[in-house]
């Protein structure tokens, strides 16, 4: 399985729109198809905090269901290193998670703050991931 770290913007987008690359990646992750989502306590905390922002208008049930799906499907890692790669300090938690997991990809729509990979981890957008990494997957499985 391909080890991935999924940025918060992908989780939010997947909850806002049922179609598209972000939703497809989220479904692959929670169904443990092709990819294995990796999280850390800090990443899970950010997902929780962002999903609860009032402007997103997610119901408590939707938030709890999303977090439960992630916890059930993801591999929890515990970063031992503090990294300072991104200019956005909170994004460094995703680099740390990817480093601890030995992730193949960090999937993000925010390539401004994730300008470079780290170690074996490549930065990739949701669309590029779907088009380049899983192009042979039947559309019904996305």
Residue 69, both tokens: 């799906």
Q: Which pLDDT value is given to residue 137?
A: 63
Q: What's the total number of domains in the chain?
A: 1
Q: Which of 13, 1, 28, 6 is nearest to 106 (CA)?
A: 6
- For 68-115, what is each residue's pLDDT tens digit? 999 999 999 999 999 888 888 889 999 999 999 999 999 999 888 787
Q: Which of 139, 88, 135, 126 is nearest to 6 (CA)?
A: 126
Residue 95 to residue 86: CA distance in whole angstroms = 8
Q: Which of 68, 15, 85, 80 is nearest to 42 (CA)?
A: 80
Q: Residue 44 sits in which domain range?
A: 2-141
Confidence of residue 119 (pLDDT cuts 50, 70, 90): confident
Tell me the C-alpha to C-alpha distance, in Å, between residue 93 and each of 42, 55, 81, 114, 133: 6, 24, 10, 12, 24
- Supply the DSSP symbol for 7: -
Answer whether residue 142 shows pLDDT above 60.
no
Q: What CATH code is carried by the domain that includes residue 100?
A: 3.40.50.1010
Q: Which pLDDT value is given to residue 111?
A: 83
Q: Which pLDDT value is given to residue 139?
A: 58
Answer whether residue 138 shows pLDDT above 60.
no
Question: What's the mean per-residue pLDDT of the chain?
Answer: 92
pTM, two decimal places: 0.92
């Amino acid at each position: 399985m391909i080890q991935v770290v999924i940025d918060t913007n992908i989780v939010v987008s997947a909850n806002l729109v049922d179609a598209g690359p972000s939703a497809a990646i989220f479904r692959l992750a929670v169904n443990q198809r092709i990819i294995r989502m990796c999280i850390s306590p800090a990443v899970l905390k950010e997902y929780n905090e962002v999903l609860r922002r009032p402007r997103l208008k997610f119901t408590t049930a939707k938030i709890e269901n999303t977090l439960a799906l992630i916890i059930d499907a993801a591999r929890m890692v515990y970063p031992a290193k503090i990294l300072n790669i991104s200019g956005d300090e909170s994004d460094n938690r995703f680099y740390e998670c990817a480093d601890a997991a030995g992730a193949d990809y960090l999937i993000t729509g925010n390539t401004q703050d994730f300008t470079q990979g780290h170690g074996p981890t490549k930065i990739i957008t949701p669309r590029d991931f779907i088009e380049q990494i899983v192009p042979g997957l039947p559309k019904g499985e996305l």
